[in-house]
């Protein structure tokens, strides 16, 4: 029997590509250049499965042709780049890769928090530019982290892992907002306490970290009004999705000193990053590195392989989201 034909939109770590190729008739995007909409549509019309990732856009229109694909095995936990309802309407299954990137994404949020608090990016830029003239009691003084309040928006796996790091690792107090109530005993296990609204969390926090999904329901959750609710000396950390923050409003808030700084790993129009952000000293900017470790990216690939294998063996894929 012929093996299912699979198209992978971007290169994966070698170990995961190798396992995929053992099981399926695989076509790779050898040059690893992001695909255009027509190229994605072409792949959907020619292959039994397409394995996309966050750098691909799959709006409803790409599913309108003579689609052959029966499953989209997304490489990544976030899937707001896929119109899942439109895929589902065409009978196409969608899966993601939860769990395996929890620690690394929480670590990266911590890296951003520490960097903005302690002016890490700024200090490195100064030193590399040969502008550091030696230690002094007032040189690049930052903000202490221990004893401060961190507010988490979205208390899923990554939000919880981040809470643990903040509380048990760095001696911070933690409050959070989550759409559904979290049992207080469970929350206490992460050193955290739930507050009723997003605004309550923003008003209470010295650092606010976003861990909710992107997409329509959370688009511009952090808008001008919400940014104004934050404490004047507070910092915003975003490792979730760029569209959760109104980037123009954030730039205005940073310029006016409504908040003190921001640590960002994701952007509204990534990979484009606004010139305004790039020239600000009080922001730490990373290029969407949340899950970027050898171990995690390999594990993500293996999860996609598991999902697609289950699907073509007639079993329910473990991580089906649509
Ligand atoms: C994720 O898995 O959602 C990461 O942000 C990469 O897409």
Which residue, among 77, 67, 30, 102, has the nearest Cα to 304 in the 3D structure? 77
> What separation, in Å, do the N-terminal and C-terminal C-alpha atoms of the chain show?
28
Cβ–ligand 1 distance for 290 under 6 Å, the answer yes
Atom of ligand 1 nearest to the CA of 291: 4
Residue 52 Cβ < 6 Å to ligand 1:
no
Q: How confident is the model at residue 89 (pLDDT cuts 50, 70, 90)?
A: very high
Q: Return the percentage of the chain with pLDDT > 70, whole number.
A: 100
Is the Cβ atom of 212 under 6 angstroms away from ligand 1? no
- 192-194, strands of its sheet edge to edge: 192-194, 173-177, 149-153, 207-210, 235-238, 261-264, 283-285
How far is it, in rounded angstroms, from Cα 222 to Cα 13? Answer: 34
How many angstroms separate the CA atoms of 201 and 111, rounded? 21
Query: From the alpha carbon of 77, which atom of ligand 1 is closest?
Result: 2
Question: For the residues 42-67, what does the mean pLDDT come to?
Answer: 97
> Is residue 242 in contact with ligand 1, taking CB distance under 6 Å?
no
Q: Is the pTM of this model over 0.85?
A: yes
296, pLDDT greater than 90: yes
Query: Could you identify the atom of ligand 1 that is nearest to the CA of residue 288?
Result: 5
Which two structure tokens, joined as six digits, stand for 202?
Answer: 């923003």
115 within ligand 1 shell (Cβ under 6 A): no
Structural element, H or E, at residue 312: helix 294-312
Q: What is the mean pLDDT of residues 217-234?
A: 97
The verdict on whether 268 is a catalytic residue reads no
Question: Does the beta carbon of 100 lie inside 6 Å of ligand 1?
Answer: no
What's the whole-number average pLDDT of the chain? 97
Average pLDDT for residues 61-65, to the nearest whole number? 95
- To test the pocket of ligand 1, the residue of 77, 112, 244, 288 to mutate (highest count of ligand atoms within 8 Å of its CB) is 77
Establish whether 211 is a catalytic residue.
no
Instruction: Read off the pLDDT of each residue in 109-132 and give the average, rounded to a whole number.
Output: 98
Mean pLDDT of 62-73: 96
Using omega within 30 degrees of 0 as the cis cutoff, is the peptide bond preceding 257 cis?
no
Instruction: State the pLDDT at residue 1.
Output: 67
- In this prediction, residue 206 has a pLDDT band, given cuts at 50, 70 and 90, of very high
Query: In this predicted structure, what is the pLDDT of residue 257?
Result: 97
Catalytic residue, chosen from 241, 247, 260, 297, is: 241
Check pLDDT > 70 for residue 84: yes
The rounded percent of the chain whose pLDDT value lies above 90 is 99
Over the stretch 142-158, which tens digit does the pLDDT of each residue have?
Answer: 999 999 999 999 999 99
Ligand 1: residue of 34, 51, 54, 214 to mutate (most ligand atoms within 8 A of CB) is 54
- The residues with which 94 forms a beta bridge, in sequence order, are 72
Q: What domains does the chain contain, in order, with CATH numbers?
A: 5-100+294-312 (3.40.50.720), 102-285 (3.40.50.720)
For a pocket test of ligand 1, which of 98, 161, 211, 291 has the largest count of ligand atoms closer than 8 A to its C-beta? 291
Q: Is residue 241 annotated as part of the catalytic site, yes or no? A: yes
């Amino acid at each position: 029997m012929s093996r299912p034909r699979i198209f992978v939109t971007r290169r994966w770590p070698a170990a995961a590509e190798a396992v995929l190729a053992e099981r399926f008739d695989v076509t790779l995007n050898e040059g690893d250049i992001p695909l255009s909409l027509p190229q994605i549509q072409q792949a959907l019309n020619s292959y039994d499965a397409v394995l996309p990732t966050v750098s691909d856009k799959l709006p409803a229109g790409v599913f309108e042709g003579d689609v052959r694909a029966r499953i989209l095995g997304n490489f990544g936990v976030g899937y707001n780049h896929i119109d899942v309802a439109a895929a589902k309407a065409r009978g196409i299954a969608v899966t993601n890769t939860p769990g395996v990137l929890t620690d690394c994404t929480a670590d990266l949020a911590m890296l951003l928090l520490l960097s903005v608090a302690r002016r890490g990016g700024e200090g490195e830029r100064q030193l590399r530019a040969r502008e550091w003239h030696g230690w002094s009691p007032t040189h690049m003084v930052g903000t202490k982290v221990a004893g401060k309040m961190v507010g988490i928006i979205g208390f899923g796996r990554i939000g919880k892992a981040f809470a643990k790091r903040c509380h048990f690792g760095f001696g911070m107090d933690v409050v959070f907002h989550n759409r559904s109530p979290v049992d207080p005993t469970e929350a206490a296990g992460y050193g955290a306490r739930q507050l009723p609204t997003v605004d309550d969390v923003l008003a209470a926090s010295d650092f606010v970290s976003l861990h909710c999904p992107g997409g329509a329901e959370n688009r511009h959750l952090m808008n001008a009004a919400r940014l104004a609710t934050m404490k004047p000396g507070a910092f915003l950390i975003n490792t979730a999705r760029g569209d959760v923050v109104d980037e123009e409003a954030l730039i205005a808030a940073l310029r006016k000193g409504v908040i003190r700084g921001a640590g960002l790993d994701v952007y509204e129009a990534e990979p484009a990053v606004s010139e305004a952000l790039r020239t600000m000293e009080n922001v730490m900017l990373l290029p969407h590195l949340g899950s970027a470790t050898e171990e995690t990216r390999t594990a993500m690939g293996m999860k996609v392989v598991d999902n697609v294998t289950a699907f073509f063996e007639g079993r329910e894929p473990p991580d089906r989201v649509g």
